[in-house]
Amino acid sequence: MKNAKVSRRGLLAGTGALLAGAAFSTRVVAAAPPPEPVTPALIEAAKKEGQVIYYTSTDLPVAEKLAKAFEAKYPGIAVRVERTGAERVFQRIGQEYASNIHAVDVVNSSDAAHFILWKRDGILAPYVPEDVAKFYPSEHKDVDGQFASWRIWLSIIAYNTNLVKPEEAPKSFADLLDPKWKGKIVKAHPGYSGTIMTATYQMQRDLGWTFFEQLAKQNIMQVQSSADPPKKLEIGERAVMADGNEYNIFQMKEAGRPVEPVYATEGSPLIIGPNGIFKTSPNPNAAKLFQSFCFSRDAQQLIIDVGGLRSAHPQTQEKAGRKPFKDIKTMKDDAAAVEKESDAIKTRYTKIFRI
């Protein structure tokens, strides 16, 4: 994981100050532009461009289903999905921009702190879809209209029901430190995954680094993506996952696989995944059309139903059988703090887990 050591501050030289507090704390540069409706003129202009390039850290099957839904609604416009971990997405864009390569139209990251840096460096385009303006809570949209919360989910504990009885399953992060779980736990890495970067920040803030120091003594199986622990759990390589995507567990459980989510008594880390458009988008009209589609009620319901994700769109409905979001104790997200501390978190984590 050598690339995980690349400093996000070094990739994009940020300027300007942060205002701490809100989930999307960023320097205000201008008032948000008025919302833009999807018009026949926009659709025709997008069709002339013919494609939209989407860099995302969303699980590939979910991103591809979103792309196919867009292509079905707007024939003649192809979506090219470029999927990798959030930290790799960030590094790729930084390296491309450093070489004056502008290949990406729309970006999604599971590390909301990336948008603070992109905005500070002036490379995001202000664009407010109608649904965002009408329906999204203020805490889920940038005050300058440069990004909004496309997806919401949790990083959770889970277990394999073939290997662990419900009454013996961990109920908290503290339970993971029980010697009986030694050699039976899998977890992901904050140097690769934006989800795990955000979760690690929240956990070290609320539980302390001593928790990770003790967890490291449990002979953890260390993987990369936040989608990897659920996969290891599903096939029985490990009995318990210490972190990973809630939405993968939903997908697996609803497909009849032997996994069960656990919402830690201390609170589950809350993850926000924004979408944004770049100013130098090679397909600017297709980018706007795709961005508007992503925040529509239909697209948001799709990512809930087939993706297992949560949504900030109030017209969506949670899927039956899943624990309602309002009933879950969550940790508090703080993208500005993650941005400030990310490199230190990677360094300390690597030292603790020796990876």
Which amino acid would we find at residue 28?
V
Q: So what's the pLDDT on residue 26?
A: 46
pLDDT band at 256 (very low <50, low <70, confident <90, very high): very high
Of the two residues 269 and 24, the one the predictor is more confident about is 269
- Is residue 22 pLDDT above 70, yes or no? no
Q: Does 9 have pLDDT greater than 70? A: no
Distance CA 24, CA 18 (A): 10
pLDDT, the chain, mean: 91
Q: Give residue 87's pLDDT.
A: 86
For residues 257 and 320, give the distance between their C-alpha atoms in angstroms, rounded to a whole number: 17
Other Cβ atoms closer than 10 A to 232? 20
Q: pTM (2 decimals)?
A: 0.86
Helix (H) or strand (E) holding 277: strand 270-278
pLDDT band at 30 (very low <50, low <70, confident <90, very high): low
Express each pLDDT in 210-243 by its tens digit: 999 999 999 999 999 999 999 999 999 999 999 9
CB burial of residue 328 (10 Å; 0-12, 13-18, 19+): middle
Least reliable range by pLDDT among 24-38, 156-170, 270-284: 24-38
What is the per-residue DSSP string for 130-170? HHHHHHS-GGGB-TTSS-EEEEEEEB-EEEETTTS-GGGS-
User: Does residue 3 surpass a pLDDT of 70?
Assistant: no
Considering only CA atoms, which of 292, 285, 270 is closest in space to residue 136?
Answer: 292
Local confidence band at 312 (pLDDT 50, 70, 90 cut-offs): very high
> 31-49, pLDDT tens digit by residue?
789 999 999 999 999 999 9
Question: Which residue matches tokens 């970067």?
Answer: 197
pLDDT tens digits, residue range 113-162? 999 999 999 999 999 999 999 999 999 999 999 999 999 999 999 999 99
75, with CB counted inside 10 A (0-12, 13-18, 19+), is exposed
Give residues with Cβ within 8 angstroms of 2, minimum separation 6: none
Q: Report the percent of the chain where pLDDT is more than 70.
A: 92
State both tokens at 91. 């590094």
Neighbours of 261 (CB within 10 A): 22
Does residue 2 carry a pLDDT above 50?
A: no
